[in-house]
Amino acid sequence: MKSIAFIFSNSPYGNSISKEGLDVVLSCSLTTKKIALFFIDDGVLQLFLNQKPEYINSYNYSLSFKILSLYDIKDFFFCKYSAYKRGLKENDNFLLPVKFLNNICLRRKINSFDYILKW
């Protein structure tokens, strides 16, 4: 069975790219067993627990990331540099349990997948 790495690099609001990426993850989970999500750059904000999108008249689709565990998707990785640059720390509360990786480990992990899709 092939494996897919999904890379989220956009902020959760301002466009629909990340929501569309989440929809693709859910669709692919029906036929692919090994799926992991990687959050880099502004993508690390996707899983921030205390989002308040109603202040900008947006829908909080980020809560939908919680259903990924029902699809047996359990591998979530943050770029440590991107997270720290945005004030996020490993002991912060996130929507899902994430593992922080430095750039080298992140690159190696991503390269271990058969397919890489970036959102």
pLDDT of residue 15: 78
The tens digit of pLDDT for each residue in 15-45 reads 788 889 999 999 999 999 899 999 999 999 8
pLDDT of residue 98: 95
Number of structural domains found in the chain? 1
Residues 6+ apart with CB under 8 A from 26: 67, 68, 71
Confidence of residue 53 (pLDDT cuts 50, 70, 90): low
Confidence of residue 59 (pLDDT cuts 50, 70, 90): low
Q: Which domain holds residue 18?
A: 3-118
**Residue 94 DSSP class:** B
Beta strands in 1-119 (DSSP E): 3-8, 34-39, 75-79, 99-101, 115-118
The tens digit of pLDDT for each residue in 79-114 reads 999 999 999 999 888 989 999 999 999 999 999 999
CATH code where residue 27 lies:
3.40.1260.10
Plot region of 5 (φ>0 → left; ψ -120 to 50 → alpha; else → beta): beta
Beta strands in 9-106 (DSSP E): 34-39, 75-79, 99-101
pTM: 0.90
